[in-house]
Amino acid sequence: MFKFVDKSSKHLNRDLFITVAGNVGAGKSTFTKLIGEELGFETHYEQVDGNPYLQDFYSNQAKWGFHLQLCFLSERFRQQKNIANNGLNNIQDRSIYEDVEIFARSLYDNKKMAKRDYITYRDLFNDMVPYLRKPSLMIYLDGSIDTIISRINLRGRDMEKSVDISYWKNLHCRYEDWIEEYNESPVLYVNINKVDLVNNPEDVKSVCDKIRSILSI
């Protein structure tokens, strides 16, 4: 159900910051909400509904990918500043690292983002790096591609359901490679094939007990 990996150097003993990572459809927003409520952490969500570029992106990734990624990067950096300065324990829906290392990189590798745009995007992120608050813990929602696609279809966003399955499979492979190399913080793997926070309230308690043990809270 769980796997814990700590490849990072020791982080400073400050207000706690958890970030939740995982593919589209993995359940990050629900996880952030339920775990944040149980732990009493301030919650920060990815802006999906109302995002000015997302629907256009799914219609034409090559045309709108750069715009969408800049929008998400800007949003995530604003969250990072809030998290660093609000003096609270925080939990965040999707990390800033995923935007750069998975989504933008995928667009570039698949010829859907021009080289000059990708360089501009990476340069902007690299300028942000010195100001980023590293997580106390990353929680990675790990699961099969079948589970991911099933959840995407279940939540019923038409713009996602219209996307070819190869797109989700590509992201899934990139996530598996990325999380193995990630070393900015300790990582708690949560198997979403076995953990169901919505239908099994005891799973919320089990996850939170594991987090409390790792973070000594």
Q: Domains plus CATH for the chain?
A: 2-215 (3.40.50.300)
User: Got the DSSP string for 85-96?
Assistant: HS-S-EEEES-H
> Which region among 3-7, 27-31, 128-132, 168-172 has the lowest average model confidence (pLDDT)?
3-7
pLDDT digit string (tens) for 153-190? 887 677 777 788 899 999 999 999 999 999 999 999 99
Tell me how far apart the alpha carbons of residues 87 and 14 are, in angstroms, rounded to a whole number: 9
**152: pLDDT confidence band, cut at 50, 70 and 90?**
confident
* 108 CB-contact burial (10 Å; exposed 0-12 / middle 13-18 / buried 19+): buried
pLDDT of 29 higher than 70 = yes
- Catalytic status, residue 93: yes
Q: Is the pTM of this model over 0.75?
A: yes
Q: Does 10 have pLDDT greater than 60?
A: no
Contact yes or no for 43/82 (Cβ under 8 A): no
Indicate which residue of 6, 56, 93, 127 is catalytic.
93
What DSSP element (H or E) covers 202?
helix 201-215
